[in-house]
Chain A
Amino acid sequence: MINRHSHEAVLAVLAALAIAVLALQSAEFLTPANLMNQGRLMTEVALVALVMTFVIASGGIDLSVGSIMGLSAVLLGTFWQKMGMPLPLAMVLVLFSGALCGLFNGFIIVRFGMPPLIATLGTLALYRGLAEGISQARSVRGWPEWFAQIGQGSFAGVPVQVWILLAAMAVAVVILGYSRWGRTVYAIGSSETAARFAGLPVDAAKYAVYTASGLAASLAAIIFVSRVSTTRSDMGTGLELDVITAVVLGGTSIFGGRGTIIGTVLGLVVIQALESGLSLAGIKGDGTIVLIGVVLILTLLASTFAESRARA
C-alpha cells in the first residue's frame, strides 16, 4: 500500500512543506479569504485535470482541451447573443458541443488508431481555428447578473465554482477508484491488448474518457466566461500544459496504468500554493514559472528513485 502510493506520499509531504514555508513568508497566504480565492482561480484547470487523469491513466493524452475551452467560450457567446437563444439553452448546447469535440477526438483515436498525441495535436489546431473563425475577433459582453454568479458569486461562503469542483472531484474519485470503468481505464493503460482479451469494454471506455475531457473543457469555459464576463477566441491558450503538469506532478504515469485523483488534486494544490505563495512572498511571475519546472522534475526524480528502491 505504501509502495503503491509512494508518489502521493512524497507529494503530500511536499505540499505540506510548501504551505508551511509559504505561510511563514506571508501573513496573507494562509487566510480563509485567500484560500477561497485560490479555489476560484484554480477551478478551470482543476476540472480539466480531473478528467485528464483518466485520459493519461488510460495511456492517452488530450492536447486539445485548451482549444475546446476557447471554442466553447466563443460558441456560448454566439449561441446566446448572435443566435438569440435563451442563455440556459446556450449553456447546455455548449456542454453538448464540448462533449462532441471530445467524442470526435475519441473517434479518430479509436476508429483510426491514430496516436492520441498526434490526433489531439491536430484537433488543437482545428478547434482553435474554428474558435477564431467563428468569433471573427469579436467579444460577447453584457452577461446577466445570475450568470455572473457562477464565476464570481459565493454560496455558503464558498465560491460557486468551488462547489462544482468539489462535486466533480467526488464523482471522479468514485469512478476511477471504485468502479468497473475505473478498472478498465487502468487496464487499458497497462496493456490495451490484455484488456481486450479480458473482455473489457476498451473502445467504449476510450470514447468515454475523451468525451468527458471535452465536456470538462466546455464546463471550464462557461465558468471562465462567467468569471471574466467576456468571450475571446484565445481563451484557454496553453491550458493543456498547465493541466498535464498538474496531473503528471500528481503521479499519474504518462505511459498509463497508474494515477489517482488524490494525486492530481495534490499536484494542483502544490502548483497553486507555489503560484500564490511565491507571489505573496514577493517573487515575480517568471521566477515562479522556473520553480514549478524544477519542482516537477525533482518530484518525478524523487518518486522514480523511491520506486526503484522499493522494488530492489
Chain B
Amino acid sequence: MTDMTIDRPDAGAPMTGALRRVLREYGHELLVALAILVLLAVVGTINPRFVSARNMTSVFSGNAYIAVAAIGMTMIIVIRQIDLSVGALIGVLATISGTIAVSGAPVWVAWAAPVICGAAISSVTGVLVAYAGIPSIVVSLGMMAILQGGLISVTGGAWISDLPPAFLLAKMKVLGLPMPLVWGVVLTSAAAVWMRMSAFGRSLYLIGGNAEAARAVGIPVRRRIVAVFAIHGAFAGLATLLFATQLQVIQSTTPANLELVIITAAVIGGVSILGGTGTVIGASLAAVLFAAIGSALIFVNVSAYWLRALIGVLILLTVLADVMRRRRETRAGGH
C-alpha cells in the first residue's frame, strides 16, 4: 500500500520544511494524483494505447462534468452539509437549457439559464436548511423527489433533439484542447484559489469545523450556508453545460445515481464528511481517477461486472487512509 509510506512524514529521511508543508497540506491530493499516475503507468505498460493522446483526452474530459459538480459539492460538505438532489438538479437544468436552446433564443441565454436556475433552486434548499433548521440530507431527499418527478411530469419524457450546433459547448475547443478539459481545470483552479485566499472561502472551513466559534467571531453563518448552496447550484449549472452539450440529444430523465458519484468524488478527493477540511483540487482529481479506472478496466479486459465492487473498495481504502492520517495528526498534535 503506497499511501501508507507516502504521506507519513516521519517514515523516510528528514524532509525539507517546504516539502513537508506541502505534504501535510496537500497530502491527500497528492495521493489521488499518485494513484492516477500509477494507474496510467501500469495500464499503459500493458497496453500503450491507454496512454495515447486521444485516450488521455477522453479520460481527462470524459468526467469533467462530474469534476465541476464535485467542486460545489466539496463546498457543501466542507460546511458540514450534504446535497442528495444534485443529480436530479442536473437533469432538470439540462432540460431547461436544451428547451431554451431549441426555442430559438440566443445561445448565451441557454447557457446562462442553467447556472442561474441552479443557483435559485439550490438556494431554496439552503434557506430550508439554514433558516428552517431542517437537516440538509432530509431537505435534499425531498428536493430530489420533487425535481425527479416534476421533470417527468412536465416533459412527459420527451427527448430534446435538433440542438443548434452553436449551443454545443462541450464540443468546442480552446487552443486545440477540448472545452470540458479547459473548464475542469479553470474552474477547479479558480475555486481552489478562492477557497484558500478569500475571507469568504476560509470562513467555510471554520463554519464546518465549529459553527459556534464561527458565529462567535461574527461570521453570518446562516447567510453563508444559503450562499454556499447557491454557489453549489451554480456549479451544478456549469456542470450541466458540459453534460448537456456533449451529445446532440438531451434525455429528460435524471442519470441514475449521479449524486452518489459526485459525493463519492468529493469524498475520495479528501473532503471529510465531518466538515472543516478538504479541497476542490482533490475532488476534481478523484473524478479524473474514476474516468481513468472506467477506461482502464476496458483496456485490461476486466469484466464490467466487478467495476462497482472495485470502486467500493477504493472508497473504503481512501477514507481509511484519511482516517488514519487524521488519527496520527491528532496524536502528533497532542505532544
- Closest approach, in angstroms, between the C-beta of B235 and any C-beta of chain A? 21
Chain A contact residue count (CB 8 A cutoff): 48
Q: Of B142, B143, B324, which is in contact with the most chain A CB atoms at under 10 Å from its CB?
A: B142
Interface hits, B122-150 → A, CB 8 Å: 128, 132-135, 137-139, 141-146, 148-150
Which of A129, A294, A297 contacts B311 (CB under 8 A)? A129
A115 to B277, CA, bound (A): 14
Interface hits, A258-312 → B, CB 8 Å: 284-294, 296-297, 300-301, 304, 308
Which of B132, B135, B143, B312 contacts A125 (CB under 8 A)? B312
The closest CB in chain B to the CB of A113 belongs to: B323
The closest CB in chain B to the CB of A116 belongs to: B273
A125 touches B306 (CB 8 A): no
Chain B contact residue count (CB 8 A cutoff): 46
B323 touches A129 (CB 8 A): no
Residues from chain A with Cβ under 8 Å of B312 in the complex: 122-129
Residues from chain A with Cβ under 8 Å of B144 in the complex: 241, 293
Which of B128, B137, B145, B324 contacts A290 (CB under 8 A)? B145
A133 to B256, CA, bound (A): 20
A196 to B315, CA, bound (A): 29
B319 touches A300 (CB 8 A): no
B323 touches A112 (CB 8 A): yes
- Closest approach, in angstroms, between the C-beta of B155 and any C-beta of chain A? 10
B264 touches A132 (CB 8 A): no
| Chain B contact residues: helix, strand, loop or mixed | helix
The closest CB in chain A to the CB of B149 belongs to: A289
B142 touches A294 (CB 8 A): yes
Known contacts A126-B312, A132-B308; decide if A296 and B273 are in contact (CB<8 Å).
Answer: no
B273 touches A117 (CB 8 A): yes
- Closest approach, in angstroms, between the C-beta of A275 and any C-beta of chain B? 12
The closest CB in chain B to the CB of A248 belongs to: B138
A152 to B327, CA, bound (A): 51
Task: Check: B238 CB closer than 8 A to any chain A CB.
Answer: no
Interface hits, A3-42 → B, CB 8 Å: none
Interface hits, B291-335 → A, CB 8 Å: 303, 305-313, 315-316, 319-320, 323-324, 327
Task: Check: B193 CB closer than 8 A to any chain A CB.
Answer: no
Residues from chain B with Cβ under 8 Å of A291 in the complex: 149
Residues from chain A with Cβ under 8 Å of B264 in the complex: 121, 125
Which of B128, B149, B150 contacts A297 (CB under 8 A)? B128
How many contacts A-B (CB < 8 Å)? 139
Task: Check: B109 CB closer than 8 A to any chain A CB.
Answer: no
B319 touches A292 (CB 8 A): no
| Mask of A234-249 contacts with B, CB within 8 angstroms, 1/0 | 0001000100110010
- Closest approach, in angstroms, between the C-beta of B115 and any C-beta of chain A? 24
Interface hits, B248-303 → A, CB 8 Å: 256, 260, 263-264, 267, 272-274, 303
Residues from chain B with Cβ under 8 Å of A125 in the complex: 264, 308-309, 311-312, 315
Task: Check: B198 CB closer than 8 A to any chain A CB.
Answer: no
- Closest approach, in angstroms, between the C-beta of B311 and any C-beta of chain A? 5
A136 to B132, CA, bound (A): 47
The closest CB in chain A to the CB of B154 belongs to: A286
Residues from chain A with Cβ under 8 Å of B274 in the complex: 115
Task: Check: B5 CB closer than 8 A to any chain A CB.
Answer: no
Task: Check: B2 CB closer than 8 A to any chain A CB.
Answer: no
A178 to B327, CA, bound (A): 37
Known contacts A129-B310, A284-B153; decide if A292 and B145 are in contact (CB<8 Å).
Answer: yes
Residues from chain A with Cβ under 8 Å of B138 in the complex: 248, 254, 296-297, 300
Task: Check: A108 CB closer than 8 A to any chain B CB.
Answer: yes
A267 to B273, CA, bound (A): 28
A290 to B320, CA, bound (A): 38
Known contacts A129-B306, A129-B311, A132-B306; decide if A289 and B267 are in contact (CB<8 Å).
Answer: no
Q: Of A237, A253, A288, A292, which is in contact with the most chain B CB atoms at under 10 Å from its CB?
A: A292
Residues from chain A with Cβ under 8 Å of B303 in the complex: 133
Task: Check: A195 CB closer than 8 A to any chain B CB.
Answer: no
- Closest approach, in angstroms, between the C-beta of A134 and any C-beta of chain B? 9
A133 touches B315 (CB 8 A): no
Task: Check: B82 CB closer than 8 A to any chain A CB.
Answer: yes
| Mask of A63-79 contacts with B, CB within 8 angstroms, 1/0 | 00000000000000000
The closest CB in chain B to the CB of A104 belongs to: B316
Residues from chain A with Cβ under 8 Å of B308 in the complex: 125-126, 128-129, 132
Which of A114, A245, A289 contacts B148 (CB under 8 A)? A289
Task: Check: B152 CB closer than 8 A to any chain A CB.
Answer: yes
The closest CB in chain B to the CB of A245 belongs to: B141
The closest CB in chain A to the CB of B157 belongs to: A286
Known contacts A286-B153, A289-B148; decide if A296 and B141 are in contact (CB<8 Å).
Answer: yes
Which of B141, B311, B320 contacts A241 (CB under 8 A)? B141
Task: Check: A215 CB closer than 8 A to any chain B CB.
Answer: no
Residues from chain B with Cβ under 8 Å of A297 in the complex: 128, 134, 138-139, 142-143
B135 touches A254 (CB 8 A): yes
A122 touches B319 (CB 8 A): yes
B315 touches A121 (CB 8 A): yes
Residues from chain B with Cβ under 8 Å of A286 in the complex: 148-150, 152-153
A4 to B11, CA, bound (A): 54
A108 to B274, CA, bound (A): 16
Question: Given known contacts A108-B316, A254-B135, what 10 new A-B pairs fall within 8 Å (CB)?
Answer: A112-B323, A122-B312, A129-B306, A237-B256, A288-B149, A290-B150, A292-B145, A296-B145, A297-B139, A300-B142
Q: Identify 10 residue pairs between A and B in the complex whose beta-carbon atoms are under 8 Å apart, listed by A's number.
A: A113-B323, A115-B319, A122-B316, A124-B260, A125-B308, A126-B313, A286-B152, A289-B148, A296-B138, A296-B142
- By Cβ-Cβ distance, the 7 closest A-B pairs, closest first, are A129-B309, A126-B312, A293-B145, A289-B149, A129-B308, A125-B312, A122-B315
Please list the residues of chain A having a beta carbon within 8 angstroms of any beta carbon in chain B: 61, 108, 112-115, 117-119, 121-130, 132-133, 136-137, 237, 241, 244-245, 248, 253-255, 284-294, 296-297, 300-301, 304, 308
